[in-house]
């Protein structure tokens, strides 16, 4: 195996040597054989032809107004960009005005809300005070009405008791008079009463 490796290395070196020699021989032969450079119509070299065609192309572009078209296109693009910038400035101004307007509206709404809350609080206090006063008045009237009813019931009860007592006393007196006095005794009492007048 080692012998095969040595042989292949030797073959490679020999092959490289022969290829270098072949290249040197070709170079020497090329030096002997000189190739002619191509010419346009036998007069102009390729560099001159390319340069001339570029000059002709540039001349045609200038003659047809390509620089004016390019500058006109650029000018129109610049004008369009300027118009967009102006429109953006106007839109920004309008947006700032709207923002300020809404900020003012928000501030006004907060003030209005605070005023409404204060007004509602004042009205609630007024309603509570009126309700307390009305409640006190209603309680006082109801107490007076109750006292008047109690007084009326007491008077009616006293009157009824008096009537019952008077009726009972009259009945008792009538019973006592009947039991204790006779007609002759009544006559003596009547005579005595008449004499006293």
Phi, psi of 35 (to 5 degrees): -90, 140
> Of 148, 144, 124, 147, which Cα lies nearest the Cα of 136?
144
In a domain, 177, yes or no: yes
In a domain, 71, yes or no: yes
pLDDT higher than 50, residue 6: no
Rounded Cα gap, residues 161 and 153, in angstroms: 12
In a domain, 102, yes or no: yes
Per-residue pLDDT reduced to its tens digit, 47-64: 877 888 899 888 887 787
What confidence score (pLDDT) does residue 126 get? Answer: 93
Given pLDDT bands bounded at 50, 70 and 90, which one contains residue 175?
A: confident
| Overall domain count for the chain | 1
- The model carries a pTM of 0.33
What confidence score (pLDDT) does residue 21 get? Answer: 52
Those residues whose C-beta lies under 8 Å from the C-beta of residue 46, and which sit 6 or more positions away, are 37, 38, 40
Percent of the chain surpassing pLDDT 90: 27
Per-residue pLDDT reduced to its tens digit, 13-58: 444 444 445 445 554 454 456 666 667 666 777 787 788 889 988 8
In a domain, 124, yes or no: yes
In a domain, 37, yes or no: no
In a domain, 14, yes or no: no
Percent of the chain surpassing pLDDT 70: 74
Q: For residue 86, what are the domain limits?
A: 53-189
In a domain, 136, yes or no: yes
pLDDT higher than 50, residue 95: yes
In a domain, 5, yes or no: no
Rounded Cα gap, residues 171 and 157, in angstroms: 21
């Amino acid at each position: 195996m080692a012998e095969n490796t040595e042989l292949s290395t030797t073959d490679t070196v020999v092959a490289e040597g022969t290829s270098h020699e072949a290249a040197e021989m070709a170079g020497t032969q090329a030096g002997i054989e000189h190739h002619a450079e191509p010419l346009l119509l036998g007069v102009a070299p390729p560099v001159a032809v390319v340069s001339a065609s570029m000059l002709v192309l540039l001349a045609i572009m200038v003659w047809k107004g390509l620089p004016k078209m390019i500058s006109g296109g650029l000018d129109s693009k610049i004008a369009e960009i300027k118009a967009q910038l102006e429109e953006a400035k106007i839109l920004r101004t309008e947006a700032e005005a709207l923002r300020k307007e809404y900020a003012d509206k928000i501030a006004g709404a907060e003030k209005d809300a605070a005023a409404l809350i204060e007004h509602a609080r004042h009205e609630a206090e007024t309603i509570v005070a009126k309700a307390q006063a009305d409640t006190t008045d209603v309680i006082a009237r109801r107490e007076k009405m109750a006292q008047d009813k109690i007084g009326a019931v007491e008077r009616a009860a006293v009157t009824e008791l008096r009537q019952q007592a008077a009726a009972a006393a009259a009945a008792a007196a009538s019973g006592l008079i009947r039991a204790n006095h006779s007609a002759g005794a009544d006559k003596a009492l009547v005579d005595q009463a008449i004499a006293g007048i």
